[in-house]
Structure 1
């Protein structure tokens, strides 16, 4: 099964992708995580992406397409994968079409004010990558990772200013993907304001229709 998750920042793509990976036994490909890893390593790609990501912008199509093309050829993608954070533009979607035939596209939809509130409440473990949200998925001990005990941090692009910019960028550059995939007959929408378990159930039911 080859899937794409679409949604604005903090719509719940990462949370749902992690659950679907366990359910279906397929690879989770988060382009955001991959880019942040490059930034942390201080690679040439990471240095190019750092300032763009901090301001809420999108890295160039050429860079991200090259990363994804290489990633989906790895062994763990043989049984399928979930793309989380790619494609983000119609141009990227057209390039993805040339690489692979998708089975389904899931659009997790929620109002801007909900996503901004979630986004600014997010926390991440810098050691193991676990994610939390003070509003609906808090750590058992405030500020401490449940998994490894590391102190949690907030991403630099999870501020109100950067969040507003990222949501605006989603509407301008990524929202056209909804119509693109509706026209292909492979997209279905779920309500991103529902509880996490209900969203997972709705996605699985949609995938298995």
Structure 2
């Protein structure tokens, strides 16, 4: 076990032959190692004008993106993956792929998702294990996880098999999250994700104002847009309530290690993307590469 874990955490070649380890850790509820002292921990990427900048491709990236459903984890994680040259592993996508596959878990997952419940740890671990096996076969190195871990038990399992460098927690007020979720659309032909919600909230009662333009599809997709079955107001509110209950221990788990970066989205992609790159210490040339 020790030798296997050592191989998994080598920076130069992150191995994903961790499937059996993940399953053993899950069944035995492996104990988490003593966390780093938050006062002495130095986050890997902080805003520091005197610090030399490195080429994104040279960075060993093992990141997690947290945030409520609809906050935009997938959008920002996928952009950073393109910039940093690592795979984007979204557990939400893994669930949707399994739902569309008519596999053994499809019916069970359909009932869970349509009721606005969180998918169980057992199912998520199974889907993630399958994804890591596929990544190992393709020689992947590094990752950005999106939507995992969602529970403290999942965070402990992940801690037992690899060393997470940074956890980015995207934040947005709940009324805007609901509008965003209700505005989500998928092209039934190309599978593209879009959002028809136009958000313009004035700042009042202690809340800041925020504007977000819709992310509209190209004309040839407009007539093919569909709404996800779980994007109803009742289900969205239920999902947000469950997420908030489950997420607090996960956030504290990483906060205690000094790895949690809390990022309040100031607006839509044009406003938020440059600021996110700034706190991750990516310069203007890298921004242009990411936007291309």
TM-score relative to the length of structure 2: 0.65
Quote how far apart the aligned CAs of 1:150 are.
Answer: 7.3
Q: Distance in 2 between matches of 1:180 and 1:77?
A: 30
Are residues 1:177 and 2:250 paired?
Answer: yes
The correspondence for 2:114, drawn from 50, 54, 59, is 54
* 2-structure distance, mates of 1:69, 1:77: 15
Q: Which residue of 1 aligns with 2:228?
A: 155
Change (3 A) 1:140 1:26: same
- 2: CA distance, partners of 1:28 / 1:206: 20
Tell me, in whole angstroms, the C-alpha distance in 2 between the residues paired with 1:99 and 1:106.
20
| Length, aligned pairs only | 204
The alignment status of 1:16 with 2:94, answered yes or no, reads: no
Q: In the alignment, which residue of structure 2 is the partner of 1:129?
A: 191
Q: Which runs of 5+ in 2 are unaligned?
A: 1-60, 198-213, 283-292
Does 1:2 pair with 2:75? no
> 1:165-188: CA deviations, max 9, x gaps?
111111111233211111111110
CA 1:70 to 1:38, structure 2 compared with 1: closer, same or farther past 3 Å? closer
Query: Which residue number in structure 1 is paired with residue 216 of structure 2?
Result: 138
Hey, what's the Cα distance between the residues in 2 that align with 1:44 and 1:139? 33
Corresponding position: 1:35 with 2:102: no
Q: Is the 8 A contact 1:35 1:49 kept in 2?
A: yes
Moved more, 199-208 or 97-106: 199-208
1:98 aligns to what? 160
Equivalent residues of 1:188, 1:206 under 8 A apart? no
**Alignment partner of 1:84 out of 146, 150, 153:** 146
Superposition deviation, residue 193 in structure 1: 4.2
Structure 1 gap ranges (5+): none
Query: d(CA) in 2 for partners of 1:175 and 1:117?
Result: 23
Q: 1:127 to 1:104 in 2, by over 3 A?
A: farther
1:85-137 CA-partner distances (Å, limit 9, x unpaired) = 11111111111111211111100000110100000000012343321111221
* Cα distance, 1:51 vs structure 2: 0.6
Once the two structures are overlaid, the 10-residue window that deviates more, 68-77 or 37-46, is: 68-77
Flag the structure with larger Rg.
2
Computed over aligned residues only, the root mean square deviation of the Cα atoms, in angstroms, reads 1.9
Cα gap change, 1:123 to 1:192, in 2 (>3 Å)? same
Distance in 1, Cα, partners of 2:84 & 2:247: 26
* Higher mean displacement: 47-56 or 190-199: 190-199
CA distance in 1, matches of 2:253, 2:188: 35
Cα distance in 1 for partners of 2:267, 2:243 equals 21
Bigger Cα displacement from structure 2, 34-43 vs 67-76: 67-76
